[in-house]
């Protein structure tokens, strides 16, 4: 293991090269020296897998207003969203979509040459009266089209990329964030990136579940780095289960299938969502549809030999429409389920999909040191955007709001980091900067114990799926925590056989697994303490939402020992910036 | 269905190996339709933890896991073992690219050539307040072009790309044509100048390897031919 640490100085560092990171870098790299650091080549980032669309109240197909969109987002989030952030998300959406189109995103079009829009779960007109066409899309490859367009734009701008660099430590000094220590996967080199501002855009963590729609890289590394550097994670107990993952594989089948007229069926051939959500039926938000599917399965109306999935029917809209608007779904269903969806229904189950919570941020993507009395302090030089940033989606994100999130807050993070870099000096590095990261790297690189990735990863994902997914109980969560502790201990007796400096995937996976166990503990601890049901968090033993006691954000952080997760709370910011608060109401669709 | 399939895999670690060699593994078939990537993960997580390869989305859209399987370039995550109709797989890194380690290749040349064709929307006139107008018919011209996932299967299957180190290769040309075909683009002249070169579209010998290799069923050769037509019709 090489001991020399290479030093780089930049104005702004962007960690992560998905949609949020590239949007941020597009702004900063126009003016200041910017490094984009990513575990994979930018076009491999998980934004590429987003399918159905990105919403904005453009009103290209029918009347729409950003305030309706904001209402839907707040209600969809079961009132746990910070409403100031929601206002920015929805108000800025139309302008940001147009900016994306102007740099080349190949949106599908209306007959009159505008960006086409379609309905999506939980998006309504006139505050819940009917479904509305709000999701802009590029067939069912919207994320792919966006990521590549942004990457191509960054080429024009000459953005400086460090691809296949894995982050080991978030560097801080005197309360400010001032850099990142990274490991070069290609040759084993160590690098300190020292900067005035750091933007975290590291994505999600749903690889902790057995059934998930996520890429191999979605291991929550950014969340773990932030927690180890002393920052908190808001609402960890709210990973979203997307209702329609392909049975057996977990891959995403976009909600756009239902937006284009598809619907769910149980083994009796009943369109069961009509009973659960009479107004918008199959286009109810994801948490609700996921629970309904699980309920149908639990009550014996699942399909197949094991009665453990439901069916998603789409063939009735016609093969031509499917091939034009949902070609990727056709391909995925064929490969992963052996089903031709132009002729037969797709077998689906809920799949771990998205982290609704994240690092607490202001409406301007500034990371906050939160406070139980809402006297939050802005962390100097630290910004976060995208899936890793918290509190805009509340307890449950609406479909298409994630691509919007990465555009709106990616760009705002870029603008704010740029201002920060213009007005502030670089904070010097601590003498011990990077020591922790090097230590953890060497601990695993030199490890010669008993356990390897396969067994521990399998045990972790199984218990998280069984006890901390769609339905939860106190007993189940406690069992999960116990097993997670045992797995932590096994990490102390780990073995990495590969001692090479060159593309050592085994070492990277060890570091990721170490992070995932921490992440899982935070999810389980948050879930244990929240004795109510809200959005994606459903407790069988506390089935009602309890606004009196739990209309508040969980803040999970690490205790001094670096292992124990502690849970605190802070109030939800219910006051938007310029409009009236949407007060909590019963969530009926 | 056979219980096991043999994976014979190219191994090379420049830190310790003088030359490449092959390791052989017995992979258990655990379900119908099992994918090659699932076999590789089984090796990685249960049989030999030291094997290195790239993968991420595991659904054929991120382009990480292009590799050569029984002589053909493909993505390990969307190819079913049973569809290969053999119980012996020989898996090698993508040909024509320097090997970094095991199945991991150095893609820098591949990306540099992509960058060289100015793969972004070029506009001279200021944008309108709303979106650019683009008819559904014009938008349709991008289908079959914008879906490229940059996996490298095409360029690395191309003998001209192997032989001519300066050749842009099918991937970069497909990308260039994606913008040439975009009704919103105003950069045709400058992009065509780059492509109009003996290391550009004229290097292609239309042997269609790239078309066969593309896991997304795109047609880079057609992009080459259409670009040539644009060049022949144009006075610079």
* SS3 track for B93-139: CCCCCCEEECCEECCHHHHHHHHHCCCCCCCCCCCCCCCCCCCHHHH
Domain final residue, candidates B73, B105, B137:
B105
A12 DSSP assignment: E
3-state secondary structure of A233: strand
Identify all chain A residues contacting B115, using CB atoms and an 8 Å cutoff: 155
Mean pLDDT of B196-217: 97
Domains along chain A?
246-353 (3.90.700.10), 435-552 (1.20.58.100)
By C-alpha distance, which of A107, A114, A156 is closest to B129? A114
Work out the pLDDT band at B1, boundaries 50, 70, 90: low
Please tell me the distance from the alpha carbon of residue B29 to that of residue A526, in angstroms, as a whole number: 39
Q: Are residues B96 and B17 in the same domain?
A: yes
> How does pLDDT run across A517-533, given as a tens digit for each residue?
999 999 999 999 999 99
Number of domains in chain B: 2
Name which of A49, A157, A505, A510 to mutate to probe chain B: the one with the most chain B Cβ atoms within 10 A of its Cβ: A505
Query: Mean pLDDT over residues A412-435, rounded?
Result: 97
pLDDT band for position A372 (50/70/90)?
confident
**Shared-domain flag, residues B25 and B40:** yes
Residue where a domain terminates, one of B56, B87, B105:
B105
Tens digit of pLDDT for each residue in A239-248?
999 999 999 9
B30-68: string of b/e by CB count within 10 Å (b at 16+)? Answer: eeebbbbbbbbbbbbbbeebbbbbbbbbbbbbbbbbbbb
Decide: helix, strand or coil at residue B27.
Answer: strand
**CB-CB contact of B216 with B149 (8 Å):** yes
Which DSSP string do the residues of B196-211 spell out, in sequence order?
SSTTTGGG-----HHH
Q: Which residues of A touch B104 (CB under 8 A)?
A: 503
Do B184 and B137 belong together in one domain?
yes
| C-beta atoms of A107 and B131 within 8 A | yes
Q: Does B49 touch chain A (CB under 8 A)?
A: yes
- Interface touch A108/B134, C-beta < 8 Å: no
Q: Is residue B125 located within the same domain as residue B94?
A: no
Q: Which residue of B has its CA nearest to A213?
A: B57
Candidates A177, A153, A178; CA nearest to A30 is: A153
Q: What are the pLDDT digits (tens) for A318-359?
A: 999 999 999 999 999 999 999 999 999 999 999 999 999 999
CA B21 to CA B13: how far, in whole Å? 10
Distance CA B87, CA B2 (A): 8
Report CA-CA distances (Å) from A497 to A10, A450, A581, B44. Answer: 36, 10, 56, 11
Domain hosting residue B8, numbered range: 4-105
Pairwise CB contact (< 8 Å): B120 & A501:
no
ipTM of the complex: 0.97
Per-residue pLDDT tens over the stretch A231-286: 999 999 999 999 999 999 999 999 999 999 999 999 999 999 999 999 999 999 99
Sign of CA dihedral A299, A303, A308, A313: negative
The domain spanning residue B187 has which CATH number? 1.10.1060.10
Q: Mind telling me the catalytic residues of A?
A: 286
Straight-line distance from the first to the last Cα atom of chain B, in angstroms, rounded to the nearest whole number: 61
Encode pLDDT of A189-208 as tens digits: 999 999 999 999 999 999 99
User: Residues B123, B203: one domain?
Assistant: yes
Contacts of residue A498, defined as CB under 8 A and 6 or more positions apart, other chains included, come to A504, A505, A506, A507, B49, B50, B52
User: Which of B71, B105, B139 is the last residue before a domain boundary?
Assistant: B105
> Is residue A374 very low, low, confident or very high in pLDDT (cuts 50, 70, 90)?
confident
Model confidence pLDDT, tens digit, residues B41-71: 999 999 999 999 999 999 999 999 999 999 9
What pLDDT, on a 0 to 100 scale, did the predictor assign at position B236?
64
Contact B135 A109 (CB under 8 A): yes
Residues B92, B138, single domain; the answer is no
pLDDT for B2 equals: 64
Record: contact B62-A497, CB cut-off 8 A: no
Calculate how close chain B gets to A25, using CA atoms only, in Å: 16
CATH of the domain at B11: 3.10.20.30
* Tokens of residue A504, six digits: 């050592």
- Shared domain for B101 and B118, answered yes or no, is no
Question: Is residue B62 located within the same domain as residue B130?
Answer: no
In this predicted structure, what is the pLDDT of residue A1? 47
Q: Which of A26, A248, A502 to mutate to test the interface with B (most CBs of B within 10 A)?
A: A502
Residue A349 tokens read as 């189950």
- Return mean pLDDT, chain A: 96
Alpha-carbon distance B155 to B32, whole Å? 32
pLDDT tens sequence across B106-150? 999 999 999 999 999 999 999 999 999 999 999 999 999 999 999
pLDDT digits (tens, 9 = 90+) for A67-91: 999 999 999 999 999 999 999 999 9
CB burial of B160-196 (b: ≥16 within 10 Å; e: otherwise) equals bbeeeeebbbbbbbbbbbbbbbbebbebeeebbebbb
Tell me, yes or no, whether B211 and B171 share the same domain. yes
- Lookup: tokens for A76: 């969809």
Clarify whether residues B94 and B152 are in a common domain: no
Residues B93, B151, single domain; the answer is: no
Same domain, B115 and B37: no
Chain B residues in contact with A145 by the CB 8 A cut-off are 146
């Amino acid at each position: 293991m090489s001991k020399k640490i290479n030093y780089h100085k930049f104005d702004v560092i962007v960690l992560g090269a998905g949609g949020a990171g590239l949007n941020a870098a597009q702004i900063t790299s126009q003016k200041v020296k910017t490094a984009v650091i990513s575990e994979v080549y930018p076009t491999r980032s998980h934004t590429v897998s987003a399918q159905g669309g990105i919403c904005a109240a453009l009103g290209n197909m029918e009347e729409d207003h950003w305030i309706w969109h904001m209402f839907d987002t707040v209600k969809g989030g079961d009132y746990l969203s910070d409403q100031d952030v929601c206002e920015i998300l929805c108000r800025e959406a139309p302008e940001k979509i147009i900016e994306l189109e102007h740099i080349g995103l190949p949106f599908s079009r209306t007959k009159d040459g505008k960006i086409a829009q379609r309905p999506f779960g939980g998006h309504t007109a006139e505050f819940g009266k009917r479904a509305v066409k709000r999701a802009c899309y590029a067939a069912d490859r919207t994320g792919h089209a966006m990521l590549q367009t942004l990457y191509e734009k960054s080429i024009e701008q000459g953005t400086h990329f460090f691809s296949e660099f894995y982050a080991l430590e978030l560097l801080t000094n005197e309360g400010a964030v001032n850099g990142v220590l990274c490991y070069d996967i290609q040759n084993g080199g160590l690098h300190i990136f020292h900067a005035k501002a750091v933007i975290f855009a590291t994505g999600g963590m749903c690889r902790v579940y057995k059934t998930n729609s996520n890429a191999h890289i979605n291991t929550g590394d950014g969340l773990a780095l932030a927690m180890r550097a002393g920052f908190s994670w808001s609402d960890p107990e709210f990973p979203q289960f997307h209702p329609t993952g392909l049975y057996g594989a977990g891959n995403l089948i976009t909600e756009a299938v239902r937006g284009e007229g598809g619907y769910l069926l149980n083994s009796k051939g009943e369109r069961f969502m009509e009973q659960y959500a009479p107004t918008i039926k199959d286009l109810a938000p994801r948490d609700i549809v996921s629970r309904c599917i699980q309920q149908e399965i639990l009550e014996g109306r699942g399909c197949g030999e094991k009665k453990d999935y439901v069916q998603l029917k789409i063939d009735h809209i016609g093969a031509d429409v499917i091939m034009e608007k949902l070609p990727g779904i056709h391909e995925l269903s064929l490969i992963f389920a052996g089903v031709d969806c132009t002729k037969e229904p797709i077998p689906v189950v809920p799949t771990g999909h998205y982290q609704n919570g994240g690092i607490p941020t202001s409406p301007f993507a500034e990371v906050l040191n939160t406070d139980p009395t809402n006297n939050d302090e802005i962390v100097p030089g630290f910004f976060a955007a995208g899936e890793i940033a918290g509190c805009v989606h509340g307890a449950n994100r609406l479909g298409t709001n994630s691509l919007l999130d990465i555009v709106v807050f990616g760009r705002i993070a870029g603008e704010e980091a740029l201002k920060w870099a213009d007005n502030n000096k670089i904070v010097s590095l601590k003498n011990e900067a990077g020591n922790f990261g090097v230590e953890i790297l060497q601990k695993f690189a030199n490890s010669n114990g008993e356990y390897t990735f396969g067994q521990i990863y399998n045990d972790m994902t199984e218990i998280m799926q069984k006890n901390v997914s769609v339905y939860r109980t106190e007993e189940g969560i406690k069992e999960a925590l116990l097993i997670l502790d045992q797995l932590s201990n096994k990490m102390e007796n780990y073995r990495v056989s590969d001692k090479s400096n060159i593309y050592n995937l085994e070492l990277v996976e060890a570091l990721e697994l170490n992070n995932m166990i921490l992440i899982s503990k935070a999810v389980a601890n948050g879930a244990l303490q929240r004795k109510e049901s809200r959005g994606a968090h459903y407790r069988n033993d506390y089935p009602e939402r309890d606004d009196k006691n739990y209309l508040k954000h969980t803040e999970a952080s690490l205790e001094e020992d670096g292992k124990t997760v502690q849970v605190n709370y802070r109030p939800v910011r219910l006051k938007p910036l310029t409009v009236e608060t949407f007060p909590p109401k019963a969530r009926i669709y | 269905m056979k219980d096991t399939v043999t994976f014979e895999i190219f191994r090379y670690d420049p830190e310790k190996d003088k030359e490449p060699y092959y390791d052989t593994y017995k992979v258990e078939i655990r379900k119908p339709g099992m994918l090659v990537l699932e076999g590789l993960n089984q090796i990685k997580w249960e049989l030999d933890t030291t094997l290195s390869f790239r993968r991420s989305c595991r659904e054929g859209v991120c382009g990480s896991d292009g590799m050569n399987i029984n002589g053909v370039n493909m993505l390990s995550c969307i190819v079913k073992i049973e569809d290969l109709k053999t119980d012996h797989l020989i898996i090698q890194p993508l040909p024509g690219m320097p090997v970094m380690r095991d199945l991991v290749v150095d893609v820098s040349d591949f990306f540099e050539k992509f960058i060289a064709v100015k793969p972004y929307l070029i506009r001279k006139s200021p944008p309108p307040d709303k979106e650019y107008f683009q008819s559904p018919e014009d938008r349709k011209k991008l289908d079959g072009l914008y879906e490229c996932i940059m996996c490298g299967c095409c360029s690395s299957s191309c003998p001209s790309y192997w032989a001519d180190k300066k050749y842009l290769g099918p991937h970069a040309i497909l990308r260039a044509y994606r913008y040439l075909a975009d009704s919103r683009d105003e950069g045709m002249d400058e992009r065509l100048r780059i492509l109009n070169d003996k290391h550009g579209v004229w290097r292609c010998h239309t042997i269609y390897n790239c078309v066969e290799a593309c896991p997304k069923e795109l047609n880079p050769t057609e992009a080459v031919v259409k670009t040539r037509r644009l060049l022949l019709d144009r006075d610079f």
